[in-house]
Homo-oligomer: A and B are copies of this chain.
Amino acid sequence: MSSQPPVRRLRSDSAARPLQKGQQTKAAIVDAALGLATQIGLEGLSIGALAEVMQMSKSGVFAHFGSREELQISVVREYHARFEDEVFYPAMAFDRGLPRLRAMFDNWMKRTSVEIDSGCIYISGAVQFEDRPGPVRDALAGSVNTWLSAMRRAIEMAVAEGHLHPGTDAGQMAFEIHALILALHYEARFLGSPDSLQRALTAFDGIVGRFSTAATPVPETPPPVRSRKTTRVATQG
């Protein structure tokens, strides 16, 4: 997993030039396919179902993708690109370290909150493809791993900035943050628990508190801090 490059741009860089007609149609099909996959699951996605939604012939859809698998992979790529646009890139505007890490989590939470109504293909797809090795599973797991490794890098930067303890295990912390998103989704979406969002936020603060330099288990070190405002308090060790 450590060999994963940081968030890859899976989406083809078609933004620079206006799309050709064929590309426009393909983009429209992918858009519809993503909407459908979010509702019925990536697994349920088929060229036939999509042709119906698009009011196209099956052969018309088929001409753009060639196979159901290729269609599913295109949906994963599109999902990945949107996830980056909503979660990853906006967080890059924040200062390195805890501010950026928190922005990544906040954006992830926001996206998860929206998906409480619609479903999340990272979560439903994991269930649907856990026992189905192949390119769709690989694309999905690759996309999730790319994001998790971006989280780990953000944690490492927070260590480098002195916001988190030098001994912080980035993989451990990323695991715990990922856990909160999964629980938020499960408890809000399936159990209908209204407190889940607040609970995930509180838990995030708990995790940060544990790894932050303020919570360093080295009492002698005069350590700074979690967030800027509380710097003074930290000197009490």
Report how many copies the assembly holds: 2
Using A175-B199, A182-B179, A183-B179 as known contacts, say yes or no to A190 and B141 having CB atoms under 8 A apart: yes
> Interface residues of A: mostly helix, strand, loop or mixed?
helix
A13 on interface, CB distance cutoff 8 Å: no
Using A171-B199, A191-B141, A210-B210 as known contacts, say yes or no to A186 and B178 having CB atoms under 8 A apart: yes
Binds B, one of A82-90, A97-105, A126-134: A126-134
Choose from B130, B175, B189, B202 the contact partner of A130 (Cβ within 8 Å). Answer: B189
Which B residues are CB-close (under 8 A) to A206?
176, 206-207, 210
Which B residues are CB-close (under 8 A) to A145?
191
Considering the chains assembled together, what is the distance between the CA atoms of A194 and B179 in angstroms?
16
Considering the chains assembled together, what is the distance between the CA atoms of A186 and B128 in angstroms?
12
Provide the A169-195 mask, 1 if CB < 8 A to any CB of B, else 0. Answer: 101100110111011001101111101
Which B residues are CB-close (under 8 A) to A171?
195, 199
Q: Please tell me if the beta carbons of B131 and A39 are within 8 angstroms of each other in the complex.
A: yes
Using A141-B191, A193-B1, A219-B236 as known contacts, say yes or no to A126 and B186 having CB atoms under 8 A apart: yes
A162 on interface, CB distance cutoff 8 Å: no
Which B residues are CB-close (under 8 A) to A112?
none
Using A119-B131, A144-B191, A207-B206 as known contacts, say yes or no to A175 and B182 having CB atoms under 8 A apart: no
Which B residues are CB-close (under 8 A) to A178?
183, 186-187
Using A180-B179, A210-B209 as known contacts, say yes or no to A127 and B124 having CB atoms under 8 A apart: yes
Which B residues are CB-close (under 8 A) to A124?
127
A196 on interface, CB distance cutoff 8 Å: yes
Which B residues are CB-close (under 8 A) to A129?
190
Which B residues are CB-close (under 8 A) to A56?
none
Using A1-B193, A183-B179, A191-B141 as known contacts, say yes or no to A172 and B203 having CB atoms under 8 A apart: yes
Which B residues are CB-close (under 8 A) to A41?
127
24 example contacts (A-B, Cβ-Cβ < 8 A) are as follows: A119-B130, A123-B186, A124-B127, A127-B128, A129-B190, A144-B190, A144-B191, A145-B191, A148-B191, A172-B199, A172-B203, A175-B187, A175-B195, A175-B200, A176-B179, A176-B180, A176-B199, A176-B206, A178-B187, A182-B183, A182-B186, A209-B210, A210-B210, A219-B236
